[in-house]
Amino acid sequence: MSTTRQYLDLDTVKKRWAPRVRRAKRMWSRFTTHKMGVLGVLILLTFILMALFPGAFTRHSLEWQAYLGTDNLRHTAAQRETLPHPPAFGDPFWAPLGTNQSGQSIWTLIVYSADTALYIGFAAGLLSSLVGVPLGLIRGYYGDTWVDGLIQRLVDVFYGLPFLPFLIVLVAIRGVSTTNIILGIAITSWLNQCIIIRGETLSLKERSYVDSAKVAGASDARVVFRHILPNVLPLTFVFLAQDAATAILAQASLAYLGLADFTTISWGMMIQNIQSQGYVFQAWWWLIPPGLAIAAIAAAFYFIGYSMEDVTNPQGT
Amino acid sequence: MSRISARWLLVRLGSAYVTLLVIMTIIFGLIQATPGDFISAMIGPETTQDQIDALYEQWGVNDPLWQQYIDYMINYQTLEFGRSPFYGEDAADLIIRRLPRTLTLFGAAFLIGYVVGPLVGMYLGWWRGTRKDKSVFAGGLLMFSMPAFWIAWLGIWLFNYNLGVFPSRYMFTQFPSFESWTILRTITDVLRHIALPLGSLAFVGWVGSMLVMRPNMINVTEQDYVFLAHAKGLSERTVMIKHAARNALLPVATQAIVGIAFIIDGSVIIEQVFSWPGIGLTLVDAVFNNDYPSADPIR
């Protein structure tokens, strides 16, 4: 008992983690030389704050409607005439980006949709990494054997899979929800990761430290996950960020085609709504913000991803 | 490198064929798992029960599953796709009629993307690390993150609704008769109609190849032969275009070939926005109408 406690001692932990902390600090200082990456982190942080504390960013809650406030009343005909209302400040109500046809403030909708977008981005990115990275590692380690060939055929099949019908079937079987849409996106987006991680592993496994690990008697699994995985990990973060951006764009497109959960709010759904309600030409204040929000969050992920790429691959610049 | 022997080629072709069979099998499974069947798309209110039964018999829906599977596999490999109940014509004809329209739009977008993208990528790679490189690169990424259908709607709103310059839907002006049309008039009409969809596709499309070209260019400029070319006293321009860019283009070409396969995937939404009568629109309509004879062969 007394001997095992020693490992939990703070100083020992500090000592053990010191090289990793130093490495992380070095990577961070390299990362901050890229203004683009810092900008991406700032945008992402803003959206995370929005998702966590939506109340701090808007004056109204989701139930708020122009003229009515949060009372559960109906608009009069004269009020409904004005209703996708252009931006208004102060009198008679406060809506910095105007309102939609039922009087909800566009800015409030944007703020309250941030969590959906973040959820989609992170969940789809993580899922496709969780599938793509292990398969890529296995393929690379057993490169040019039948295992590699088999997984290559699997990747080919998934490349040929019709995305839209596939997603419709998935949604029909499991019900329309954001989670199922994410599942569909992740199933079709792990392929690039798999191929690139394979190439990286192929070159890494020729290094001498892999040979020495093998000589020391490490099993294949230990070599792959203990010695090769940490070295491809930075690369996977690059692709995680890019996959997250692609997933957000894909979800917006699907929502536009009508394949989205109609009970949750998301930026893609807002663009789909303006089109189905027929206000595209009258309400520019409704059309532009959701697209900008999608572009901002996807760009944030891309910025971070490409700056990371420079950090992890110092030969680049 | 005489690796391309007849045997190697055969193995490659064989495995491609097996992959195709597996994909077809998966699609067959997907169709079986989809709720609703396409017979219901053909039934009107006045169809009698006998007719419905006859339809089921005629289309082979009552056959056992393995029978359907074998029919499906044989028919699709001989390009017998059957008739589309939704459009009322042979699916093969439908696709042959619609494919060129998709190819016009997306071929043009593809061409623009793969001319502009590598060119910009070449300059950015050459000017790596400068402020110009950084700002154009970030701007390109920002454009890459915009949803294409949103750009399309903005384009329609600006150029069609506010300025009235370009039409917003279809491929031709809709007239009852096209007899008096000369070739020149047809071309200008198509050009006016293609402007907005092409513009919104090209707006996003060039970035993909730029993203591949730039790092390649950066790698190439550090090679010895580029250094040698500089040492020979060749002008900057000659070194950049003749020595560096040519070698950096190879991965872009690979990407372009893969990219052709994704034209149809990308076509779906833009064709939907602009009612462009191409194959993506057919796919969406077909999928939402349970119209399998025309939905499957598109893939």
Considering only the beta carbons, identify the residue of B19, B157, B215 that sits closest to A157.
B19
Total tally of structural domains belonging to chain B = 2
Distance from CA of B215 to the nearest CA of A (A): 7
pLDDT of residue A147: 85
For chain A, give the percent of residues with pLDDT over 70: 87
DSSP state of B161: I
Which among A36, A257, A303 is the nearest to B272, CB-wise?
A257
The region of weakest confidence among A52-61, A162-171, A182-191, B150-159 is: A162-171
Rounded to an integer, the average pLDDT of A226-235 is: 81
Average confidence score pLDDT of chain B: 72
A275 touches chain B (CB under 8 A): yes
Residue B77 has pLDDT above 70, yes or no: no
- When comparing pLDDT for A244 and B25, which is higher? A244
Distance CA A294, CA A110 (A): 10
- B83 and B175 belong to one structural domain: no
Residues B143 and B9 in one domain: no
Confidence class of residue B286 from pLDDT cuts 50, 70 and 90?
low
**pLDDT computed for residue A34 by the predictor:** 80
Q: Residue A189: its pLDDT value, please?
A: 82
pLDDT surpassing 70 at residue A120 = yes
Give the pLDDT score at A316.
41
User: Could you say which of A164, A169, A316 has the minimum Cβ distance to residue B33?
Assistant: A169
Looking at the predicted structure, is the pLDDT value of residue B299 above 50? Answer: no
Kindly state whether B238 is in contact with chain A, defined as any CB-CB distance less than 8 angstroms: no
Burial environment of residue B158 by CB neighbours within 10 A (0 to 12, 13 to 18, 19 or more): middle
| A170-174, A291-295, B184-188: the lowest-pLDDT one | A170-174
Query: Is there a single domain that holds both residue B169 and residue B243?
Result: yes
Partners of residue A161 in chain B, C-beta under 8 Å: 23, 26
Identify any residues that bridge with A65 across adjacent strands, giving them in sequence order.
Answer: A69
Secondary structure of residue B177 in the 3-state scheme: coil
Q: How confident is the model at residue B38 (pLDDT cuts 50, 70, 90)?
A: low
Mean pLDDT of B4-28: 75
Which of B37, B65, B92 is where one domain is finished?
B92
Determine the average pLDDT of the residues in B285-297.
Answer: 50
Residue A45's pLDDT band (cuts 50, 70, 90): very high
**pLDDT over 90, % of chain A:** 3
pTM of the entire predicted model = 0.77
- How much is the pLDDT for A262? 72
Confidence of residue B291 (pLDDT cuts 50, 70, 90): very low
Tell how strand B83-84 and strand B89-90 pair up.
antiparallel
Q: What is the mean pLDDT of residues B99-117?
A: 81
- Label residue A286 by pLDDT band (50, 70, 90): confident
Tell me the pLDDT tens digit for each residue of A299-312: 998 888 888 877 77
**What was the pLDDT predicted at A42?**
92
Tell me the CATH class for A38-63+81-316: mainly alpha
Least confidently predicted of A101-115, B217-231, B281-295: B281-295
**pLDDT band, residue A198 (cuts 50/70/90):** confident
Q: Inter-chain contact B145–A249, Cβ cutoff 8 Å?
A: yes
B36 pLDDT more than 60: no
| pLDDT at position A131 over 80 | yes
B111 and B175 belong to one structural domain: yes
Interface contact flag, A275 B153, Cβ < 8 Å: yes
CB contact under 8 A, A303 and B138: yes
Q: Are residues B151 and B245 both part of a single domain?
A: yes
- Which three-class secondary structure state does DSSP give residue A124? helix
Using CA coordinates, name the residue in chain B closest to A34: B134
Query: Is there a domain that residue B299 lies in?
Result: no
Q: Are residues B25 and B126 in the same domain?
A: no
Single-letter amino acid code for the residue at A175: G
Q: What's residue B297's pLDDT?
A: 46
Instruction: Please check whether residue B46 lies inside any domain of the structure.
Output: yes
Helix (H, G, I), strand (E, B) or coil at A69: strand
Could you tell me which residues come within 8 angstroms of residue A195 by beta carbon, excluding any fewer than 6 positions away? A136, A155
Does residue B39 sit in the same domain as residue B113? no
B-chain CB neighbours of A169 within 8 Å are 30, 33-34
Domain boundaries, chain A: 38-63+81-316
- For residue B249 the two structure tokens come to 């283009």
User: Pick from B42, B59, B92: which residue ends a domain?
Assistant: B92
Q: Stretch B185-209: mean pLDDT, rounded?
A: 79
Q: How far apart are CA A25 and CA A32, in angstroms?
A: 11
Q: Determine contact: A36 vs chain B, CB below 8 A.
A: yes
Q: What is the pLDDT of residue B1?
A: 42
> What is the C-alpha separation between B218 and A190, in angstroms, rounded?
27
Rounded-to-integer distance, Cα B150 and Cα B266, Å? 14
Amino acid at A92: P
Looking at chain B, the number of H-run helices and the number of E-run strands are: 13, 2
By C-alpha distance, the chain A residue nearest B204 is A295
B79 versus A41: the higher-pLDDT residue is A41
Range from A124-133, B32-41, B197-206 that averages highest in pLDDT: A124-133
Residues B273, B190: one domain? Answer: yes
ipTM of the complex: 0.74
Residue that is written with structure tokens 């045997």 in the block? B7
Considering the domain boundaries, does residue B297 fall inside one? no
Q: Which residues on adjacent β-strands are paired with residue A105?
A: A99
- Work out the burial of residue A269: count CB atoms within 10 Å of its CB; fewer than 13 is exposed, 13-18 middle, 19 or more buried: buried
- pLDDT in the model for residue A97: 77
Domain finish residue from B92, B123, B147 = B92
**Contact status, residue A317 vs residue B128, Cβ threshold 8 Å:** yes
Contacts of A297 in chain B (CB under 8 A): 145
Chain A interface includes B12 (CB < 8 A): no
Which pair of tokens denotes residue A34?
Answer: 């890229």
Residue B155 has pLDDT above 80, yes or no: yes
Say whether both B67 and B213 belong to one domain.
no
- Give the range among A106-115, B40-49, B132-141, B180-189 with minimum mean pLDDT: B40-49
Distance CA B213, CA B218 (A): 9
* Contact assignment for B134 to A36 by CB distance below 8 Å: yes
Residue B292 is assigned to a structural domain of this protein: no
Rounded Cα distance between B208 and B113, Å, is: 8
Nearest to residue B141, comparing CAs of B206, B197, B202? B206
Least confident piece of the model among A268-272, B118-122, B134-138, B280-284 = B280-284
Shared domain check, B229 and B213: yes
Rounded CA-CA distance A172/A167 in Å is 8
Q: Is a pLDDT exceeding 50 seen at residue A254? A: yes
Q: Would you say residue B95 has pLDDT above 80?
A: no
Question: Of A234-243, A250-259, A299-308, B185-194, where does mean pLDDT reach its minimum?
Answer: B185-194
Q: Is residue B264 part of a domain?
A: yes
B23 chain-A contacts, CB cut-off 8 A:
157, 160-161
- The type of residue at A304 is I
The pLDDT value given to residue A215: 87
Residues B42 and B109 in one domain: no
Q: Are B218 and B192 contained in the same domain?
A: yes
Expressed as residue numbers, the domain containing B144 is 94-282
pLDDT mean over B155-169: 75
> Any idea what the CATH number is for the domain that residue B110 is in?
1.10.3720.10
User: How far apart are alpha carbons A165 and A170 in whole angstroms?
Assistant: 9
Are B146 and A35 in contact (CB < 8 Å)?
Answer: no
